[in-house]
């Protein structure tokens, strides 16, 4: 049985991913700050991350797939660089970069020991092209993409692969405050060739494909799922 750990799995893309992986027949451990049936974990806390990963290992005996999904966009104060408060910059990077680092660091020893594993990080198309007025978020997702490549290069010899999924605009609790404004949503959707934002389940489809092992030669790759937005 394949065992997956999904961080930030209580809502949005994480919840859709956990549900999809279960539907694919995997055992899934969900890590989140709170929620029914989750392993409580703050991905920015080293001790908490190690405890959560150890708990998943104790329960399932192995971890085959880690999905680093937990992430934040930052508050409206996280805007252009010189106006972004230092505390807000640090908060965004703590979740979006430190989190995947800590979770990957905690799970890698067991993957090395078993000679296999796949670390999938939910980055963003903002890690490949700059989102205007979102310096902290863009920089953090760029770092997440490069962390993925670094893991892929360093751990291939142990049978461990790493890939990123780079969504465009997705309707989730984190983005609904923007997308529930009709004029703003229309403006965003005009910038997407497919003419609409994605649903979390569509990003979960991409994660499930990677987690399935069917693309066994793919590693170090940022898989873009953005409705064509970055192709413009």
| Contact in structure between 128 and 224 (CB atoms under 8 Å) | yes
Q: What pLDDT sits at residue 94?
A: 98
Structural domain that includes position 138: 3-231
DSSP-derived secondary structure letter, 169: S
| Contact in structure between 165 and 123 (CB atoms under 8 Å) | yes
| Contact in structure between 122 and 104 (CB atoms under 8 Å) | no
| Contact in structure between 23 and 47 (CB atoms under 8 Å) | no
Distance (Å, whole) CA 121 – CA 220: 11
Residues assigned a catalytic role: 137
Q: What pLDDT sits at residue 174?
A: 87
| Contact in structure between 165 and 122 (CB atoms under 8 Å) | yes
Q: What pLDDT sits at residue 122?
A: 98
Q: What pLDDT sits at residue 177?
A: 83
Of 78, 97, 96, 79, the closest CA to residue 87 belongs to 78
| Contact in structure between 69 and 8 (CB atoms under 8 Å) | yes
Model pTM score: 0.97
Helix (H, G, I), strand (E, B) or coil at 107: helix
Which CATH number fits the domain that encloses residue 154?
3.40.50.720
Q: State the total domains in the chain.
A: 1
Q: What is the mean pLDDT of each run of 10 residues along the chain (232 residues)?
A: 97 98 98 94 98 98 98 95 98 98 98 98 97 96 98 98 98 89 94 97 98 97 98 92
DSSP-derived secondary structure letter, 229: G
DSSP-derived secondary structure letter, 121: E
The first and second tokens of residue 78, run together, are 């996280």
Rg of the chain taking only CA atoms, in angstroms = 17
For helices 12-23 and 200-211, angle between their N-to-C axes, nearest 10 degrees: 50
In this structure, which long-range contacts are made by residues 19-23, counting pairs with CB atoms below 8 Å and at least 24 apart in sequence? 19/204, 20/201, 20/204, 20/205, 20/207, 20/208, 21/65, 21/67, 21/204, 21/207, 21/208, 21/211
Helix (H) or strand (E) holding 223: strand 222-225
């Amino acid at each position: 049985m394949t065992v997956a750990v999904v961080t930030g799995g209580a809502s949005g893309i994480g919840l859709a991913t956990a549900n999809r992986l279960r539907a694919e027949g995997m055992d899934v451990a969900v890590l989140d700050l709170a929620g029914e049936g989750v392993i409580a974990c703050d991905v920015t806390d080293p001790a908490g991350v190690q405890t959560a990963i150890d708990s998943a290992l104790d329960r399932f005996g192995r971890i085959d797939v880690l999905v680093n999904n937990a992430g934040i966009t930052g508050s409206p104060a996280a805007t252009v660089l010189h106006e972004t408060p230092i505390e807000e910059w640090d908060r965004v990077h703590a979740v979006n970069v430190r989190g995947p680092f800590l979770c990957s660091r905690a799970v890698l020893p067991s993957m090395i020991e078993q000679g296999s594993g796949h670390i999938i990080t939910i980055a963003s198309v903002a890690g490949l092209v700059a989102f205007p007025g979102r310096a902290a978020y863009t920089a953090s997702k760029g770092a997440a993409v490069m962390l993925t490549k670094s893991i892929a290069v360093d751990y291939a010899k142990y049978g461990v692969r790493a890939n990123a999924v780079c969504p465009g605009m997705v309707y989730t609790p984190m983005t609904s405050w923007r997308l529930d404004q009709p004029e703003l949503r229309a403006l965003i959707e005009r910038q997407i060739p497919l003419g609409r934002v994605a649903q979390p389940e569509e990003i979960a489809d991409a994660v499930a494909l990677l987690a399935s092992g069917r693309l066994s030669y793919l590693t170090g790759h940022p898989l873009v799922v953005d409705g064509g937005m970055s192709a413009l």
